[in-house]
């Protein structure tokens, strides 16, 4: 680990890796010239590759999403602190208008999908009924594995005519109970629909200096493709996915779209609403909506694909995705920095936006408690600094097209920030292993909280100036009863507030909720920044949306899914849909 004291850490980092197809040799030599920082001592760092590794450990269940593998993993890792929010616990009654599954339904599905794609095995069903945290648990008796859009369409047409409720299921990495049944909904897994259909690479081959670069980067794939697999595929073609999240090894692109996933690179590439070019969606009645455009601009009528981005499978099932993928740029740099207070983190963000502007690709934030937790509970994660913990940490990644310039930009920025007192200590990744270990710290947070005990998780969007206040207020409120930590995407104003206790306790919950929602609403924040509402917060939507807006949502839900069979009990309050 390349870790240096404040007076040293800026010297001698170089963190770029050339892609497999390059036109010129990497500018970054094995022993780069040291960088002169006025008044600072110098060291030379070893310069090797520093791309984030293709495999991440955390949240990664398996690149296969088969339910039995998950189950084994669950029981090994998360067997201690569980609270299953079955339907009884969440105080929602089964919608009496839904039918119960019968043998004719099973026969129909088997005739259409084949026996092996109609799963009634108890173990596999058990795994598919429970979420990643073992917090939400349904009692579905049927898991279907369609292989193509036509089969999804036939399933929905049948279920709609029979009033059988369904839940679409992707990688099941959500945190709000959106992807598992509440009662006996039929589970429709998209795992078998994992084909990459095309990558529009634009004109090729070219004869200027290199031969296989491509320009458009428009990827079309099926909804069941795992995010990490897509990224690996794209990397070989000179592109990257515009989103990256800790769950990349399990989450599916259809689920990413349906939950409008944010993640680590949101600050650079923005929302999926800006990156998704087209979708294929199957509506509740089986109608296939072909909106699978591949154009950056298309102003012909209402842009309906946006209705399905973030609607958590309650308006239709996403079956294919067309997405604009950015070029994989030549140089990446990663710095882990320690700050003395939250205001310094804020200032650092402000400075980074101004000075690193177009190359900044991540700006992540962790407090002392978060760091402590991940060091304690995640195997192989080490403190990058020799000292004890600092109060606050920031992880800054830059990605650009020219490594010498980008490196110099980051260097100048870090120098100024250190001289200005914003940074107490820091380390810049020297190679792919160090970069990986930095990312492991940040990406291991969510899993560490689950391992650490009973955890209440909140995903808040807040104005940057109020970003960390809720952590202090919650600590004051809960006292010794709980450990309150905060981390998240400071660059996007997205705080992951985690409240850890020894065991789940309704008295503690009553001290947290509705306070956390009211506080967020008062500060004009959002009670779900990037996780969605799912089952957890379906009846909390009014904290973030006006009554008229929620009413229109309900009207649209009724228009698109008049029988209410799609992912029931989620997203919107049940009272508005009956």
- Between residues 48 and 404, which has the closer beta carbon with respect to its own copies? 404
Residue closer to its own copies by CB (options 121, 303) is 303
Closer residue to its own copies in complex, CB, 142/566? 566
Could you say whether residue 577 binds its own copies (CB under 8 A)?
no
311 binds its own copies (CB under 8 A): yes
E strand or H helix at 108: helix 103-113
Contact 34, 43 (CB under 8 A): yes
Interacting residues with its own copies between 353 and 372 (CB under 8 A)? 353-359
Between 129 and 258, name the residue whose CB sits nearer to its own copies.
258
Q: Tokens 């009413």 label which residue?
A: 551
Residues 6 or more apart whose Cβ sits within 8 Å of residue 223 = 170, 190, 193, 252, 253, 254, 255, 257, 317, 318, 319, 320, 321
49-108 residues in contact with its own copies (CB under 8 A) are none
Closest contact distance (angstroms) between CB of 304 and its own copies is 6
Produce one character per residue of 21-34: b if its CB has 16 or more CB atoms within 10 Å, e if not. eeeeebbbeeebee
Determine which residue in the list 346, 430, 434, 498 makes contact with its own copies, applying CB under 8 A. 346
Judged by CB under 8 A, the residue of 34, 86, 139, 287 near its own copies is 287
Does residue number 214 form part of the binding site for its own copies (CB under 8 A)? yes
User: Which lies closer to its own copies via its Cβ, residue 192 or residue 521?
Assistant: 521
Q: Which of residues 450-469 bind its own copies (CB under 8 A)?
A: 461-465
**Residue with Cβ nearer its own copies (173 or 461):** 461
Shortest Å distance, C-beta 521 to its own copies: 11
212 binds its own copies (CB under 8 A): no
Among 38, 301, 380, 479, binds its own copies (CB under 8 A): 301
User: Mapped to the 3 state alphabet, what secondary structure does 158-223 carry?
Assistant: HHHHHCCCEEEECCCCCCCCCCCCCCCCEEEECCCCCCEEEEECCCCCCCCCCCCCCCCCEEEEEC
- Residue 391, CB half-sphere, CA atoms under 13 Å: how many? 11
Chain positions 147 to 186 lying near its own copies, rule: CB under 8 A, are none
> Considering only residues 75, 114, 198, 405, which one is a binding residue for its own copies as defined by CB under 8 A?
405
The residue count for binding its own copies (CB under 8 A) is: 106
Q: Is 215 in the site for its own copies (CB under 8 A)?
A: yes
Measured at the alpha carbon of residue 276, what is the angle toward residues 272 and 277, in degrees to the nearest 5?
Answer: 155
Query: What are 202's two structure tokens?
Result: 């634009």
By the rule CB under 8 A, 258 interacts with its own copies: no
Q: Quick one: three-class SS letters along 17-52?
A: CCCCCCCCCCCCCCCCCCCCCCCCCCCCCCCCCCCC
Chain positions 522 to 561 lying near its own copies, rule: CB under 8 A, are 524-533, 537, 541, 543-546, 548-550, 552-553, 555-557, 559-560
Maximum Cα–Cα distance for the chain, whole Å? 80
CA distance 185 to 129: 10
In the bound complex, what is the minimum distance in angstroms from residue 200's beta carbon to its own copies? 7
């Amino acid at each position: 680990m390349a870790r240096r004291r404040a007076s040293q850490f800026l010297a001698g980092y170089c963190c770029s890796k050339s892609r497999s197809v390059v036109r010129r040799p990497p500018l970054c030599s094995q022993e780069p010239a040291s960088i002169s920082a006025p008044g600072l001592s110098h060291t030379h760092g070893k310069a090797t590759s520093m791309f984030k590794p293709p495999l991440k450990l955390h949240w990664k269940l398996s690149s296969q999403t088969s339910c039995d593998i998950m189950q084994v993993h669950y029981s090994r890792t998360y067997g201690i602190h569980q609270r299953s929010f079955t339907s009884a616990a969440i105080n929602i009654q089964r919608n009496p208008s839904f039918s119960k599954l019968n043998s004719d339904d099973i026969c129909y599905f088997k005739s259409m999908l084949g026996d092996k794609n109609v799963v009634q095995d108890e173990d596999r069903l058990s795994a598919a009924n429970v979420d990643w945290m073992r917090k939400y648990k349904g009692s579905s008796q049927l898991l279907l594995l369609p292989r193509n859009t036509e089969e999804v369409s036939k399933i929905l047409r049948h279920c709609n005519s029979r009033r059988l409720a369904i839940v679409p299921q992707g990688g099941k990495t959500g945190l709000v109970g959106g992807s598992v049944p509440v009662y006996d909904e039929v589970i429709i897994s998209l795992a078998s629909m994992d084909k990459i259909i095309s990558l529009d690479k634009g004109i090729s081959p070219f004869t200027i200096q290199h031969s296989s670069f491509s320009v458009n980067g428009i990827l079309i794939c099926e909804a069941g493709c795992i995010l990490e697999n897509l990224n690996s595929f794209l990397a070989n073609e000179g592109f990257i996915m515009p989103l990256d999240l800790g769950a990349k090894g399990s989450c599916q692109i259809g689920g990413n779209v349906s939950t409008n996933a944010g993640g680590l690179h949101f600050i650079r590439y923005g929302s999926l609403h800006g990156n998704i070019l087209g979708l294929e969606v199957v509506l509740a009645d089986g109608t296939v909506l072909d909106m699978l455009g591949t154009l950056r601009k298309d102003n012909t009528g209402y842009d309906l694909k946006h209705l399905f981005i973030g609607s958590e499978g309650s308006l239709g099932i996403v079956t294919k995705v067309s997405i604009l993928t950015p070029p994989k740029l030549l140089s990446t740099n990663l710095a882990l920095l320690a700050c003395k207070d939250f205001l310094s983190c804020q200032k650092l963000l402000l400075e980074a936006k101004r000075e690193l502007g177009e190359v900044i690709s991540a700006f992540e934030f962790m407090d002392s408690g978060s760091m402590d937790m991940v060091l304690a509970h995640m195997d192989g994660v080490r403190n990058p600094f020799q000292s004890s913990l600092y109060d606050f940490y920031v992880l800054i990644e830059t990605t650009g097209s020219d490594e010498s310039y980008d490196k110099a930009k980051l260097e100048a920025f870090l120098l100024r920030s250190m001289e200005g007192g914003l940074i107490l200590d820091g380390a810049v990744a020297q190679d792919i292993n160090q970069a990986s270990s930095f990312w492991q710290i940040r990406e291991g947070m969510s899993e560490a909280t689950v391992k650490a005990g009973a955890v209440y998780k909140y995903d808040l969007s807040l104005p940057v100036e109020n970003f960390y206040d809720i952590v202090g207020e919650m600590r004051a409120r809960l006292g010794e009863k709980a450990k309150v930590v905060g981390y998240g995407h400071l660059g996007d104003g997205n705080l992951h507030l985690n409240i850890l206790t020894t065991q789940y306790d309704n008295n503690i919950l009553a001290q947290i909720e509705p306070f956390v929602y009211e506080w967020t609403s008062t500060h004009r924040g959002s009670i779900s920044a990037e996780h969605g509402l799912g089952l957890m917060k379906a009846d909390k939507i009014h904290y973030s949306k006006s009554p008229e807006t929620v009413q229109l949502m309900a009207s649209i839900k009724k228009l698109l899914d008049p029988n209410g069979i799609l992912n029931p009990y989620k997203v919107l309050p049940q009272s508005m849909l009956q």
